[in-house]
Amino acid sequence: MQLDHFRIPLGSAIEDGIDLLSDHLAPLTKAMSAVLETAIDILDSILSALPPWALILLFGLLAWRLGSRRIGLFTVLGLGLIWNLGLWDPTITTITLVLFSTAIATLLGVPLGILAAMHKGWARVIMPVLDFMQTMPAFVSLIPAIPFFGLGPVSAIFSTVIFAMPPSIRLTCLGIRQVPASLTEAADAFGATRSQRLFKVELPLALPTIMAGINQTIMLSLSMVVIAAMIGAKGLGGEVWKAIQRLEPGLGFEAGIGVVIIAVILDRVTQKIGTRSV
């Protein structure tokens, strides 16, 4: 038999599997989509209802309190530039999507990281899946979102969570495993239960590493939200995608600078929180 005429039907099998899952999970995905889209609209409406100058000052104050005066000043100046460029509404949409994506990825990732750290059997299952998720091209993550949730922000969040969750799992697992054995043995010697040892010894000591994972999750969420503009995510990514389609490099660079400003603010604030938790 010639191998030239033999082709494993991998693509067809994947399509059949996605179709099967989307048919059977349609009620669940529709309900999830409705709830999540309503929550996105509510948060976006609240942020959009506030005057831009007031929201800029509020974000600057938060960045100052959670980070430093320098970060607070950069937040005010950076967001002021975005407002001046006429990109305030897309920026609010992007921030909303990043907040939801990061929250979901963290709520799923941290418990999975704890599970992988506590049970080697689960780690053997979870880590290969993470390898697959991290090496798969970002654009491929958009494909399974469309059959389940259709075009729009919910699909963008779904694909972003898949793309951005691995760092929070890996670094949570790493942080717990790096806790010195002498400390866990001391906790056991004083009669601590497994949950007490986890919440009072391991997690507090692993918090800086966990925060580093959350920081990376935020950065990946921001980059993926921009890519997800291709499936209707809107926001600053939508402005970049529009600039590409219309061959308007100036508009594209302005939206790109807005993404960079948001990324720097979130990165510096979360780094500062992680440093304080040491």
Which 8-state DSSP code applies to residue 119?
-
What b/e string do you get for 84-118 counting C-beta neighbours within 10 Å, with b at 16 or more? eeebbebbbbbbbbbbbbbebbbeebbebbbbbbe
1 pLDDT above the threshold of 50: no
What is the band of 84 on the pLDDT scale with cuts at 50, 70, 90?
Answer: very high
Residues 126-170: pLDDT tens digits?
888 888 888 888 778 788 778 777 778 888 888 888 888 999 999
Token output for 219: 């950065």
Neighbours of 122 (CB within 10 A): 15
SS3 143: coil
Provide the pLDDT for residue 5: 64
Cα–Cα distance, 241 to 232 (Å, whole number):
10
| Residues 6 or more apart whose Cβ sits within 8 Å of residue 244 | 252
Count of CA atoms in the C-beta half-sphere (13 A) of 211 = 18
214 pLDDT above the threshold of 60: yes
Question: Look-up: residue for tokens 């979901």?
Answer: 104
Mean pLDDT to the nearest integer, 224-246: 82
Token output for 92: 């609010």
Contact 106, 97 (CB under 8 A): no
Provide the pLDDT for residue 3: 53
Which of 103, 104, 126 lies closest to 114 in space, CA to CA? 126
Mean residue pLDDT of the chain comes to 85
| Residues 6 or more apart whose Cβ sits within 8 Å of residue 59 | 75, 76, 79, 265
Helix ranges (DSSP H) in the chain: 10-24, 26-49, 52-66, 69-84, 88-118, 120-135, 145-149, 153-164, 166-177, 181-189, 194-197, 203-227, 235-246, 249-276
Q: How far is CA 39 from the centre of its chain?
A: 17
Mean pLDDT to the nearest integer, 68-91: 91
Q: Model pTM?
A: 0.85
Cα–Cα distance, 1 to 4 (Å, whole number):
9
Residues 4-53: pLDDT tens digits?
566 777 777 777 777 777 777 777 878 888 888 888 888 888 888 889 99
